[in-house]
Amino acid sequence: MTGATTTAPTPTGFELRTPDDWVDYSVADEASENRLANKVWTRARDGGFTDDQAGQYAEQLRRSVRQARNAGAVHAAGTFQVYEDGPLTATVLVSVVTPPATGDILGALTAVGQPARADGTWRRVSTAQIPAIGTVGRVHGIQNVTQDGVALRCAVMHTVVPLPGSANVLLVTGSSPNLAEAEELFELFATITATLTFTWEGDGPALTPPAASPVGAGS
């Protein structure tokens, strides 16, 4: 007699902890990205930056939030801090995506046209452990990221998390243009991603229908 096959229930939400000085970004509408951009502009001006410099950082954040919303992100968080040697900006996005037909989502993420190494960009594929979930795939490196048609070189980390009971996956992406702090940022993104847990009781941000294929994410 063959036992019945049971399918793991699909989570309805998730939890992801970020540092105390990080802010959860609303990806609901354009008004929310404008509010965040205004806050960044004010913080930059208070930190001694000119109107033009503050405007550049505010617009950078605006593009990040807009890209997250357009890509169907279910969650976004980030930080903008002003230090003596300049500002630090970083974001983490969470998206539900459908793997490509080959099923090789890491291959899809790394197959995007990569400039020659002489350009200073690189990618490294690996696996990682998330305590509450298990083994996940990861690709990190220095990449050219395009936001609203504007190219920006960033330290980027993608973590691909299997979604129980579903063919889709959760994609957690951390990025920052602060290349001088890339190694520290990779450690920070890994630490944040390691706090990921799934929920089934309606707690935490909801998991929405999948966005488009991740091909081109962080490219």
Condensed to tens digits (0 to 9), the pLDDT of residues 19-52 reads 998 888 766 666 667 777 787 788 778 877 788 8
All domains of the chain in start order, with CATH: 13-112+121-199 (3.40.1000)
194 closest CA partner among 107, 109, 136: 136
Orientation angle between helical segments 51-70 and 30-46, nearest 10 degrees = 150
Identify whether the C-beta of residue 172 lies closer than 8 Å to the C-beta of residue 93.
Answer: yes
- The pLDDT value recorded for residue 141 is 94
Residue 136 dihedral angles phi and psi, to the nearest 5°: -135, 160
Q: pLDDT band for 211, please (50, 70, 90 cuts).
A: very low
The pLDDT tens digits for 106-132 are: 666 655 445 446 778 899 999 999 999
